[in-house]
Structure formats: C-alpha cells, structure tokens
Amino acid sequence: MNYPLIFSIAKTHLVSRFKQSAVAALGVTFGIGTFITMIGFMTGLNDLLDGLVLNRTPHVHLYNEIKISEKQPIDFITNPAEELSIVRSVQPKFNQIRIHNALPILDFLNKDKRVKGAIPQIKVQVFYKAGAVNLNGILNGIEPLQEDRLFNIGDYVIEGNVQLLKNTPSGIILGAGVADKLKLSLGDRIYISSPNGALFQLKIVGIYQSGLAEVDDIQSYVNVKMAQRIMGQSESYITDINVKLHDLALSVDMASQLSQQFNVSAIDINAANAQFDTGTSIRNIITYAVSITLLIVAGFGIYNILNMLIYEKMNDIAILKATGFSGKDVQYIFITQAMVIGIIGGSLGLIVGFLLSVLIDNTPFKTEAVPTLETFPVNFDPVYYIIGIIFALIATFLAGYLPSRKAKNIDPVEIIRGQ
C-alpha cells in the first residue's frame, strides 16, 4: 500500500471540492467545539459543587444522637424469643448531648495515620438578643485555625477573618442573616443568652455567609472555650467531632469502625451527600448526549458529501482501477478524505471549544452561595480534549466507511461501458 500516493489523491479531491470539504469539516468543528465547551463548563460546575461539599463537609462526623433505646426495660426481664412484649408510646431516654471521653477520642484520632485532622465542635442553642427581640440561634464552638485548615471556613467569612476570632476570646463570627436582621456589623457587640439564661456579650470579629439562608439566619461561630463557658461546662464538654481523612474513600469503613469502637453515632460523607453524585452524573449524561447528537449530525453531513463525491468521481474510480489500483486502494482514498475532514474539523473544534471556554472562564459570575467565586468555573482538563478528538475520528471514520466500501466495490467495466 502506497500511503503517500493515496494521501495525495485524497488531498487533490478535497482541495478541488474545497467548499464541500470545508462545510463537512465545519460540521465536525461545531460538534467537537460544543462538546469541549459544554463538558468544560459542566464539569467545572460539578467540580465546584463537589468541592464545596467536600471542602466543608467532614469525612466522618461523630456525635451523640438522641434515639430510642433498642432494648426497652421490659426486654431485660422477658425473653423476646418466647414472649411478645408490646411497649406503647416509647420516649427517648435522657441522653447527654456530649460525647463521652471526647478528649481521648480526639487524641486517638489525631494519632491515626489515615486521619488528616480531627477537631472538636461544641453546638450551643442560644438566643441572639437585641432590645426586646430574641432570635433563635446556634453557636458552634470551634478551633478557628484548625477549622479553616480542614474545612475552609475562612472561604465563607466575608468580613473579618478567622485569625481575629482566634485572637479574641470573646469574639464571634456572626451569620450574615443574623447581622442583617439585627443591623449589626464588624466591631459591634452582641448579647446572647445561654440555654440556662445567662447573658454574654460578644464582639463581632467576622461575618459568615454560606449562601444558605436557613444557615446564615441561625449559625455563628465562637471559640471552643467560649462555647464551653456559655454552657457552663468544663473543657471536656464536646458535642461533635469532625474528622478529615487523607483518603475520602475510607470514610465509610472509618465511620462504622468508630461508631462501634466508641459507641457514638458516626456518619460518613457519602451518606451525608448522596444527592450530589446524582446531580453530577445527570449533568454528564446531558453533556455527552448533546455532543454525540451533534456529532451524529456532523457524521451524516460527511456521509452525504462523500457519497456525492463518489458519484461524481465514478470516472476517477474506474480509471484508478483500470490502471491497477486495487479496491482497497480506492477505499483508502475515500476513508482518508473522511479522516482528513475529521482531523481538521476536530482540531478546529478543540480550538474553538478552548476559546469559548476561556471566554466563559472570564465571564463575571457572582453568587451568594460561593463568595470566593468571581467568574464561571470552567474545567480545562486535557482528558476531555483527547476524548473530543477521538470522538471526531470515530464519527468521521464511520461516516466515511460506508461510502468508501461502495467505492471499493464499484465495477470499472460498468462505468467504462456506460460512457
């Protein structure tokens, strides 16, 4: 097989039908360009949303759940296998919200090699007070710098910062909704009342905005010590432990192991955020479906144009065969044309897709949900560019294959006789 010769014949055919070749190539360009743009945008969005969840959600969350005892008192004196006991109107047993032995657990976790960090949290129900107004609220007692290192709380502090909280024992990072309702701003003071009625004055060192109104209207952050003081508890009073692992995949195993070992409730990140996976895969399906549809349309364009070309080139095919080109040679001439269209159109598509992506990447986009975001997120992962060009090559190969087979099987005698 003489590829340079076959290629030069294919090239001459393409160049002498420049307009049609260009239209066919542009079809591919359109398909691939759209694919690259859409996939970059969609996955950029996915990564952002996933990142949001992954960044601020603990991989394993330990807490004490209020729940009904599995073994009711009657079960201690009867044998459930022999007797049926019915207990109506079961109430949960009084359970302390605190985690038993929280400090040793934290110690233990922080020594574990799989753990990137385990930090305490103290949840306190309070009222924000302003004159006669009492607003329901939740204070989270945190270790500001650790919380930022592991769960990026700093990304959501839109005024002030976490360092200030660390430096100010009676500081508070106030939920944006609360600040808004009480007309408070950075540097102001706020009174809160504890569950047992004690009043505390706190200094606002930051404003926190997650983008979720129901969170921002309620939640604020203080130092661990402050939270314990408000509760009137010692430093062993810890209600939650948040764990970040080096490997996210271990979170399920880790959660069940910890829950058994320490007799606490443990929830892993997958269970907490199952719905995000669904959103991601649906967006991916849409992207691929649209792109494949466009490529099929482009493929039909190539198919049509090559079919037409083969009818126009019957004489050429007969001459080539009469002068010693085999059916395969002729087939390769036309497949080569399809592939050239695919390569040029596909490469242009990658460039167009890239330029559009850059354009989108630079389009201003502000959202309350993600205060750190300035422009639309776009993913420039080269993998999608490779997928795109492979798509283009497969589509054009299929579109060129059928017409080229016809060319291969043309009987030169019929053409020559037909004149």
334 vs 317: CA distance, rounded Å: 10
Strands (E), 168-260: 171-175, 189-193, 199-208, 219-223, 240-245
CA distances to 164, 238, 240, 241 from 121, rounded to whole Å, are: 18, 6, 5, 6
Q: How far is the CB of 416 from another protein (least distance, A)?
A: 6
Q: How far is the CB of 16 from another protein (least distance, A)?
A: 4
249 vs 204: CA distance, rounded Å: 38
Which region among 8-16, 79-87, 89-97, 240-248 touches another protein (by CB under 8 A)?
8-16
Q: How far is the CB of 345 from another protein (least distance, A)?
A: 22
* Smaller CB separation from another protein, 32 or 320: 320
In single-letter form, the type of residue at position 220 comes to S
168 vs 204: CA distance, rounded Å: 10
Tokens 């080229």 -> residue: 404
Q: Confirm or reject binding of residue 416 to another protein (CB under 8 A).
A: yes
354 vs 348: CA distance, rounded Å: 10
Q: Which residues pair with 127 in a beta bridge?
A: 136, 193
Which region among 11-19, 214-222, 377-385, 396-404 touches another protein (by CB under 8 A)?
11-19
Q: Please give the residues from 261 up to 320 whose contact with another protein meets the rule CB under 8 A.
A: 315-316, 318-320
* Smaller CB separation from another protein, 325 or 376: 325
- Binding residues with another protein: total (CB under 8 A): 24
In single-letter form, the type of residue at position 94 comes to F
Q: For the chain, give the longest Cα–Cα distance.
A: 108
* Smaller CB separation from another protein, 199 or 416: 416
Q: Confirm or reject binding of residue 19 to another protein (CB under 8 A).
A: no
| 299: exposed, middle or buried (Cβ count in 10 Å: 0-12, 13-18, 19+) | buried
What are the b/e assignments for 58-71, b being 16+ CB within 10 Å? bbbbbbbeeeeeee
Of 71, 88, 111, 417, which lies in the binding site for another protein, with binding defined by CB under 8 A? 417
Q: Please give the residues from 314 up to 333 whose contact with another protein meets the rule CB under 8 A.
A: 315-316, 318-329
Q: Confirm or reject binding of residue 2 to another protein (CB under 8 A).
A: yes
Q: Please give the residues from 94 up to 153 whose contact with another protein meets the rule CB under 8 A.
A: none
- SS3 of 138, please? strand
Q: Confirm or reject binding of residue 199 to another protein (CB under 8 A).
A: no
* Smaller CB separation from another protein, 39 or 317: 317
Of 5, 87, 248, 355, which lies in the binding site for another protein, with binding defined by CB under 8 A? 5
Q: Confirm or reject binding of residue 405 to another protein (CB under 8 A).
A: no
Query: What is the Cβ-side half-sphere exposure of residue 148, based on CA atoms within 13 angstroms?
Result: 16
328 vs 416: CA distance, rounded Å: 20
Q: How far is the CB of 297 from another protein (least distance, A)?
A: 29
Q: Contact residues for another protein (CB under 8 A)?
A: 2, 5, 12-13, 16, 315-316, 318-329, 412-413, 416-417, 419
